[in-house]
Amino acid sequence: MIFKVFKKEELARLHELLAVNIIVGPVSKGNDRNGKPLYDFDVTYDFNELALDYTQTVHSPKRFVLPYHETLSTFSITRDGWKKHVDLNVYRPLVFFGMHACDINALNKLDLVLAQSTYPNPYYMGKRKNLFIIGMGCNPEPQCFCRSMGTDSVLHGFDLFLTDLGGKYFAEILSATAFDLLTQLTCQDPSAKDLALYKHATKEKSKRYTATVDTSDLTKILDLEFESTAWDAWGEKCLSCGTCANVCPTCYCYGVDEHVDPDLKHASKIKSLHSCNLIDFAKVAGGHNFRPTSASRLKYRYYHKHRGFVEAFEESLCVGCGRCGAACLADITPPEVIASVRGKE
Amino acid sequence: MQNKLNFIDILDQTSGARGGKEDPGSFEYTLSAEITSIYPLTATEKLYQIQIIDPDQRKRFSFRPGQFVMLELPGIGEAPFSISSSPIRHGDIELCIRAVGNLTNFLARVERGTRVGISGPFGTHFPLEKMQGQDILLIGGGLGIVPLRSPLLAVLENRSRYGRVDIMYGAKTPAELLFTYQYEEWRRFDIELGITVDQADKSWHGRTGLITELLQERISQTPNLRENTYAIVCGPPVMFHFVCKMLTEAGLPMQKMFVSLERRMHCGRGKCCRCNIGSTYTCLDGPVFDYWSVMNLKEAI
Ligand SMILES: Cc1cc2nc3c(=O)[nH]c(=O)nc-3n(C[C@H](O)[C@H](O)[C@H](O)COP(=O)(O)OP(=O)(O)OC[C@H]3O[C@@H](n4cnc5c(N)ncnc54)[C@H](O)[C@@H]3O)c2cc1C
Ligand code: SF4
Ligand code: SF4
Ligand code: FES
């Protein structure tokens, strides 16, 4: 990897250079009822709109690669047949200005199943390949357990990653396009002092995590504890609302619906993100539901993330961002669920 | 404008023919097909003959018994159906469909000549090559006869390569029996056909009782199933349970016993997660599983 440093003031210049493209970044969205600031990713037009010191966005960046609703295809229907039209719904590149390591890692995990497996999903790939990502170091929040998941730092899947060194940014450069851009700023090679500052910053950050999850042998333990009563207790609390999957940067499951236009000449096929906590997730025609209880559905969500995905890809489908727990009205958080299922060892 | 990023068209970069498993362009690609004839089997099931329109595509469409297709009707829906015809017929397939919901009720009302979209074939298949030289038990309950029909027809094409072939088929009532018009033909191909219903009516001269009774009789004729028998079991989960248990007790090894499982499916391509059993994709790793794999799946049957 190539490293550079540049003065903080240069960041506005970088934004200006990229402003010929559409730029998405963290913006402030007011406060919650406790006065805590809320953030979300949105299209921005001005460098000053960006809240680059944001804590964590309520929603993950996934809607820019996996829209909540997406038209997969449309049909024109004629007397003797019909034609299908496929549109991947991506027309231009998107610059992501200020994505945290966990969210970039989440995209990398989605890549494994949506882009690098059999039957790659072109709707996802088209959007993902057209992202230019500028990563940004973060400040751990109380709900963050990314360090337990090994996702507190990120090694690939971005173009440029910036770490705040005080008056300067330390830049990790991963693409030729990013390198090209930086040649248009005033940059230096990092000095020995910069390197020391960078190492110090990462070390300090890692001390600030408060939430942890014990992931040792977790895949095996989930298998052993499949019948554990801990699941029933969480099932009692869970509202089966699907909020956790909604805010999660790695949840990607979906359902498809088709619609006919009132003129009967056109139809569309629409994909909507779903959640395995919703009651109809595994219901089949004829009415049988393979997961009728909220406990069985909640268990499945953990099972998929921390066991199934690990079996398939050697890593879990959770980056420890803690969004699901923070958004859950029933206060169900992964660290508590996993600790209770592990039980006393 | 020098910093305007280049747009990457992912479909442009991919080469090769459409339809490959690795080709992102194949994801929403459906083969255009026509329902050439519709044959009512019972009050709720019909047999649809569906022909891929393009002759080239029709020839290239090849599947193995046990695999399924996704059938799409614009604006109505898309759903998985097991291919019920012989593999030598390629893209001239037969689906037997029960009217249960949106799409299937609509299909029950369409006329021949209707255009549909077909994608696939998807999923795993029954290992008919491995079964050569051996006796075969085809055990089906209710709609379970549908996925059994493709391996059966494939066996009939190559009858000399297989030993004794038994079909054991059970339905609730005589009126619900599928493919009644073919029973005589199957028997003529030296297939032992055992049929039973739960509730007989006046016209019924055959057996009444559970499918497990048929199986019990079959098992009592051979001392041990371990050496030269394969079984395919399709039907409702309760049936799997009892039948697989009996077969296991009769010595049939778990890896010589195959089932076809049904789950909700919204993509057929390992992307929507709706078909997951525990963490296994029924659409990719199934629908055909051997019994050993099924035992290892949480919440399978
Ligand atoms: C591998 C496989 C093979 C099958 N083979 C056959 C067959 O040969 N003949 C037959 O009659 N049926 C078969 N089914 C079941 C068939 O797919 C459902 O009956 C069908 O999806 C019902 O669709 P619908 O729109 O009429 O029902 P609705 O209840 O209105 O369903 C709405 C949507 O839910 C989904 N869905 C609902 N139930 C199921 C289900 N059981 N399986 C998968 N998706 C479902 C579909 O995507 C459907 O579009 C098979 C299912 C699977 C998984
Ligand atoms: S865990 Fe919480 S957010 Fe998720 S479905 Fe249950 S109540 Fe809703
Ligand atoms: S499961 Fe929860 S903690 Fe893990 S990635 Fe999803 S939202 Fe974040
Ligand atoms: S049907 Fe979508 S993942 Fe299997």
pLDDT digits (tens, 9 = 90+) for A89-101: 999 999 999 999 9
Give the chain B residue nearest A82 (alpha carbons): B115
Contacts (Cβ under 8 Å, ≥6 apart) of A344: none
pLDDT at A242: 93
Residue B299 in this model has a pLDDT that exceeds 70: no
Q: Check if the beta carbon of residue A132 is closer than 8 Å to that of residue A159.
A: yes
pLDDT at B19: 58
Q: Mutate which of B176, B274, B280, B283 to disrupt the A interface (most A C-beta within 10 Å)?
A: B274
DSSP B247-296: HHHTT--GGGEEEE-----S-SSSSS-TTEETTEEHHHH-SEEEHHHHHH
Q: Where are the alpha helices (DSSP H) in A160-269?
A: 176-182, 192-207, 218-224, 230-237, 243-247
pLDDT at B278: 74
Average pLDDT over residues A123-136: 96
Residue the block writes with tokens 């496929």: A86
CATH number of B135-260: 3.40.50.80
Sequence spans of domains, chain B: 29-122, 135-260
Tens of pLDDT, residue by residue over B43-88, are 999 999 999 999 999 999 999 999 999 999 999 999 999 999 999 9
Contacts (Cβ under 8 Å, ≥6 apart) of B8: A93, A126, A129, A130
Q: What one-letter code names the amino acid at B119?
A: S
Sequence spans of domains, chain A: 2-66+90-207, 218-249+279-342
Q: Considering only CB atoms, which chain A residues are within 8 Å of B35? A: none
| Partner-chain residue, chosen from B72, B273, B299, that has the shortest CB–CB distance to A290 | B299
| CA nearest to B180, candidates B156, B215, B210, B204 | B204
Tens of pLDDT, residue by residue over A276-327, are 999 988 888 777 888 989 999 999 999 999 998 998 899 999 999 999 999 9
A123, two tokens: 């709707």
Second CATH level (architecture) for the domain B29-122: Beta Barrel (2.40)
Least-confidence region, from A13-22, A138-147, A230-239, B10-19: B10-19
| CA nearest to A97, candidates A157, A28, A18, A174 | A18
Q: Do B271 and A121 touch (CB under 8 A)?
A: yes
A343, two tokens: 């039980």
Touching B: A residues 67-96, CB under 8 Å: 72-73, 75, 77, 80-82, 84, 86, 88, 91-93, 95
- Is ligand 3 within 6 A of the CB of residue A66? no
| Distance from residue A333's CA to the centre of ligand 3 (Å) | 9
pLDDT at A136: 96
| Partner-chain residue, chosen from A21, A84, A256, that has the shortest CB–CB distance to B5 | A21
Average pLDDT over residues A206-216: 90
pTM score: 0.92
Average pLDDT over residues B264-271: 94
pLDDT at B15: 52
Average pLDDT over residues B16-30: 75
pLDDT at B13: 59
Q: B51 or A226, which is more confident?
A: B51
Average pLDDT over residues A236-244: 94
Residue B223 in this model has a pLDDT that exceeds 80: no
Q: How does DSSP classify residue A289?
A: B
| Distance from residue B128's CA to the centre of ligand 4 (Å) | 25
pLDDT at B62: 94
Average pLDDT over residues A264-282: 92
Tens of pLDDT, residue by residue over B131-160, are 999 999 999 998 899 999 999 999 999 999
Mode of pairing for the β-strands spanning B135-141 and B229-234: parallel
Residue B97's SS3 state is strand
> What band does B25 get if pLDDT is binned at 50, 70 and 90?
confident
B254, two tokens: 């778990």
- Percent of chain A, pLDDT > 70? 99
Residue A35 in this model has a pLDDT that exceeds 70: yes
ipTM over 0.85: yes
Residue the block writes with tokens 């002759």: B55
Average pLDDT over residues A232-240: 94
Average pLDDT over residues B177-192: 90
Mean per-residue pLDDT over chain A, rounded: 93
pLDDT at B1: 59
pLDDT at A151: 93
B68, two tokens: 């399924």
| Partner-chain residue, chosen from A95, A223, A281, that has the shortest CB–CB distance to B274 | A281
Give the chain A residue nearest B273 (alpha carbons): A253
Dist. CA B257–CA B255, nearest whole Å: 6
Residue B17 in this model has a pLDDT that exceeds 80: no
Residue A2 CB-density burial (10 A; 0-12 exposed, 13-18 middle, 19+ buried): exposed
Dist. CA A321–CA A146, nearest whole Å: 6
Residue B301 in this model has a pLDDT that exceeds 70: no
> What band does B18 get if pLDDT is binned at 50, 70 and 90?
low
Say whether residue B100 is in contact with chain A using an 8 A CB cutoff.
yes
Residue A270 in this model has a pLDDT that exceeds 80: yes
Touching A: B residues 210-249, CB under 8 Å: none
Average pLDDT over residues A117-132: 94
| Partner-chain residue, chosen from B25, B75, B264, that has the shortest CB–CB distance to A284 | B264
Contacts (Cβ under 8 Å, ≥6 apart) of A319: A102, A103, A105, A106, A109, A146, A149, A151, A249, A250
Q: Considering only CB atoms, which chain B residues are within 8 Å of A257? A: 77
| CA nearest to B168, candidates B145, B190, B139 | B139
Q: Do A254 and B272 touch (CB under 8 A)?
A: yes
Q: Mutate which of A15, A80, A256, A277 to disrupt the B interface (most B C-beta within 10 Å)?
A: A256
Residue B14 in this model has a pLDDT that exceeds 60: no
Residue B16 in this model has a pLDDT that exceeds 70: no
Q: Check if the beta carbon of residue A67 is closer than 8 Å to that of residue B23.
A: no
Q: Which atom of ligand 4 is nearest to the CA of B284?
A: 4
| Distance from residue A327's CA to the centre of ligand 2 (Å) | 8
